[in-house]
Amino acid sequence: MRHSTVEICGTCENSGSMDPSPPPDPNETNWIVQVEESLKSKTSDDQRRWNKRSIYRIPARITDLKSEAYRPQVVSFGPYHHGDEHLLPMEEHKRRSLVHFLKRSGKPFKPFLESLKEVLGDLKASYDALDPMWKKDSEGAAGRFLQLMITDGCFMLEILRFANSEVDDYAPNDPIFSNHGRLYILPNIWRDMLLLENQLPLLVLERLVAVCNGKKEEEYINRLILNFWRASENNPSTGKCLHVLDVFRKKRVQLNPDQSKENKEWKSNASVETIPPATELREHGIQFKQSETNSLKEISFASGVLRLPVIVVDDDTESMFLNLIAFERFHVEAGTEVTSYICFMDNLIDKERDFALLRKKGIIRNYMESDEAAAKLFNLLAKDVMLDPGSRLHDMIKKVKEYCKERRHKWRASLMHTHFRNPWVILSLIAAFLLFGLTIIQTIYTVLG
């Protein structure tokens, strides 16, 4: 038996030596061809796709920290949250607003549909992660997507126009488009309009308005959005924007279209600077005052005075900032101004007493339940984010720290805080100096006499 086994093995070895290479795997061959083709076209394709993308699905690793801050409460815009059960009641009002919009325009439905069909590819490309039901190239999927864009776009325009008092053809007891709706529903809709996953491309609104008015109205749409937020008309134009959140963010940091970004160059060897808490800075003689504007970029330090923009903190502040930060995180060209501001404020507000100091100076207007809750909010907003090493705030923080190193500032602050806080102490000190001066004068006259 052993002999036969050896013979069989030998036969196997001999047959193997006659065919040294296995036959080519067709799957491997296909893969090589795919890689070769990718070398020719993939880079430019990716670049074009990234340029169009602006509305992102936020990963669970981020949303799990505060899921309700990223989820719409009353209305969905776009495909990501369309069909969510708790948002279905608003769908009826969307359809009503579409009818009002079309009747007021005096135009048939077809021109609006054709206009959006021309940019269907761009609209789909705006979304980072479309579900297959929207993404398919079939006629049914395209029709569903266009229906969604038109319905949601008309509803958003009607909401913006109503908030700007431009429409008055709704019934006085309308659940949405009435004084009652303005008071109770519109604030919730505005909150949902600032969610990154709940955005509509502004291209939708621009196309709808262009069919209505016969011309492009880019600045008109931006103005509707900013007036809804009650932004000042005196600030610079926001220029070309991607969606409502982008308009809001650009106005919040007051970026002009031609304004250069702060973070063009990543300083890999730069250490991340952190500013001491507000109460500690006060001990070193630093005063806190309001900036001239409410732009989040309007932070400056000169002659011992730190100027900060005025900010309102309420129940919607958390959701607003988390979505602005998420947009800056995922959209490469957005910039990092909001994130840098939050990191700066997180360092400045370490404890409740730091927040209370800024509130007393009028820099923060608190509509939350307590200073402690608001202070914790800033600490939560800054979780897992960092100050951009390219931000101009780094240089300003260094100036603040250099100021704090000079002991004379701390001595003067200590004298003012310890001895001169009570006006009676100041009056007593002035009286003592006057008495001392009069005593010297009297002594001189006595000697001369």
What is the per-residue pLDDT across 359-378, written as a single tens digit (0 to 9) for each? Answer: 999 999 999 999 999 999 99
Distances from the Cα of 140 to the Cαs of 132, 136, 239, 330, 405, in angstroms? 12, 8, 35, 31, 69
What is the spatial distance between Cα 77 and Cα 122, in angstroms, rounded to a whole number?
A: 17
Confidence of residue 384 (pLDDT cuts 50, 70, 90): confident
Q: Is the Cβ–Cβ distance between 262 and 211 less than 8 Å?
A: no
CB 131 within 8 A of CB 183: no
- pLDDT value of residue 389: 82
- As a whole number, mean pLDDT of residues 270-282 equals 83
Does 255 have pLDDT greater than 60?
A: no
Q: Which two tokens stand for residue 7?
A: 């013979």
What was the pLDDT predicted at 421?
Answer: 57
Q: How confident is the model at residue 122 (pLDDT cuts 50, 70, 90)?
A: very high
Least confident of 6-10, 189-193, 201-205, 348-352: 6-10
The answer to whether 149 and 114 are in contact (CB under 8 A) is: no
Please tell me the distance from the alpha carbon of residue 252 to that of residue 400, in angstroms, as a whole number: 25
Report the distance separating Cα 265 and Cα 258, nearest Å. Answer: 17
The radius of gyration computed from the CA coordinates of the chain, to the nearest angstrom, equals 32
pTM of model > 0.75: yes
What average pLDDT does range 111-122 have in this prediction?
A: 96
Tell me the angle at which helices 371-381 and 337-348 cross, rounded to the nearest 10 degrees.
Answer: 130
pLDDT at 217 (0 to 100): 80
Report the first-to-last Cα separation within the chain, whole angstroms: 145
On the question of pLDDT at 411 being above 70, the answer is: no
Instruction: Report, as an integer, the average pLDDT of 410-419.
Output: 53
